[in-house]
Structures are given as C-alpha cells and as structure tokens.
Amino acid sequence: MKRGISAVIILLWFGRAQAEKPKDFVELNTAMPDASYDIRYFGSQNFVGEPIDGYLAPKCLLQREAAESLIRVAKQVAKQGLRLKIFDCYRPQRAVSHFMRWAQDLSDKRTKAEYYPNLAKETLVGDYIAERSGHSRGATVDLTLEFQQTNGHWQELDMGSAFDLFDTLSNTDDPRISELQRQNRQLLKSMMEAGSFENYSMEWWHYSYQPQPYPDTYFNFAIE
C-alpha cells in the first residue's frame, strides 16, 4: 500500500516537472528571424486536420544548445543562397496525446488522401505516431530548405514528398525519388549533420540534436 502511494507521489511530481518551461528554451522566431516559419500544428494544415493541443502560438522553441546549433546551420545555408523553413520544433506532450486520440479514432479519415493515402490508419501508430515524441524533449526540429525565385518569392526545394506524408516515399533514402530530389535531401542532411543533428531515416525532414540535452524528459508546457 505504501509503495503504491509513493508511486503516485512520484508520478504527480514528475508530471509537474514536465509542465514547467525550462529557462534554457529559446524562441527561434526571434533569435533566427531570417528563417521561414510554417508551424503546421498551430493551424489546420496537418494530418489531424485541426489546431493541435498546446500550440497557442505559431512559434518554434528549442533548448538553447540545439537552438544555437541550428542558427549556425542557418548561416551556412544562407551562404548557398538558401534559407531554412521550419515546420515544427518543441512539441508539448499534450499535442502528442492529441495525435494518439486522432490515431485511435478510425472513423476520422478526412486527411487520408493527403497524408496517408497508401496506409491504413490503424498502422500509423509506431513508426509514424508514438505515445512519446523526441520533439517533446526540446531538441528536435522538422524542416526543409527554400530557394529564392527571380520574382523574390521563396519556394521549397523539391524533396520528393510533402512534409508529414506518412509513406515510405518520405524515407530519406527511398529509391523512388529522382536524382535532383535525392541531392536536395542529402544537401539538407549534410548541413544538419554538420550542426550535430541526426536524421530519422523514415522522415527526411526530421532531425534531432545530439547529444540530447534532456534525454529522459518529455515536457508538456504550452507554446504561447
């Protein structure tokens, strides 16, 4: 009985710790203003089809070491006439829980054609959607590269698949993509690896800073 009470106390304490925003988290929208920010989970243009819990502002937050390294990457990217486009950074645990609720509602297939056309929804949990995400540790980022057109507008490099397409086509080394698309993915990968970010091989856009500053902590404070 005492052991059970102790376990409850530990869980409650740990939950409060997760909910607090550490002082070493940086807002990249301010610290890296030359990047493009398209925070998909703040709005409805995402695989759930609605704003996601915990995204109260379209901001990119990262732990300081990861943020400083990404800023260095952005400077190297700029030397090639390109810029970073950010889709997601820190992700509250409450957002991940929102994803799980959506994944378990097999009747909601509004976004299937755009985000998982070749997969059954019940197969998404595991490789694509997990109960805990590295994003919640504060040092993972989803991003791509953009180039500036002659009219001044910025456009994403052709990566062969869209952000958050749940399909093997999104695997970084998928053999079906064109040579140009492969070169674009490898350019992003090489520049991110130079900044100590490691790619998740199933998603060309997904990079985690190494070593992780908070390897065992999943934060739950809202982005605001």
CATH number at residue 126: 3.30.1380.10
Please, are residues 104 and 25 in contact by the beta-carbon 8 Å criterion?
A: no
Flag whether pLDDT at 136 surpasses 70.
yes
Q: Quick one: tokens of 19?
A: 């909910």
Q: What is the mean pLDDT of residues 60-72?
A: 98
Q: Pick 66 or 17 by higher pLDDT.
A: 66
What is the reported pTM? 0.91
- What is the domain extent for residue 56? 2-209
Predicted confidence (pLDDT) at residue 166 exceeds the cutoff of 70: yes
Residue 46 falls within a domain, yes or no?
Answer: yes
Does any domain span residue 64? yes
pLDDT at 12: 36
- Distance between CA atoms of residues 62 and 139, nearest Å: 6
Asked if 166 and 102 count as a contact pair (C-beta separation under 8 A), the reply is: no
Residue 190 buriedness (CB in 10 A; 0-12 / 13-18 / 19+):
exposed
Greatest C-alpha distance within the chain: 71
For residue 76, give both structure tokens.
């190297």
173 part of a folded domain:
yes
CA distance 119 to 3: 44
**Bridge partners for 200 per DSSP:** 203
**Choice among 122, 131, 203, 224 that is catalytic:** 203
DSSP symbol at 47: T
| Inside any domain, residue 56 | yes
Work out the pLDDT band at 20, boundaries 50, 70, 90.
Answer: confident
Ligand-binding annotation for 153, yes or no, is no
**Total of domains in the chain:** 1
82-88 vs 36-37, strand pairing mode: parallel
The verdict on whether residue 142 carries a ligand-binding annotation is yes
> Distance between CA atoms of 113 and 102, rounded to whole angstroms?
16
pLDDT tens per residue across span 68-126: 999 999 999 999 999 999 999 999 999 999 999 999 999 999 999 999 999 999 999 99
Q: Let me know if residue 222 belongs to a domain.
A: no
Confidence bin at 19 (pLDDT 50/70/90):
confident
The predicted pLDDT at position 85 comes to: 98
The reply to whether 220 falls in a domain is no
65 has catalytic annotation: no
Residue 158, annotated ligand binder? no
167-222 pLDDT, tens digit per residue, is 999 999 999 999 999 999 999 999 999 999 999 999 999 999 999 999 999 999 99
The reply to whether 223 falls in a domain is no
Size of the chain, expressed as the number of residues it contains: 224
| pLDDT bucket at 4, cuts 50 / 70 / 90 | very low
Domain-located, residue 121: yes
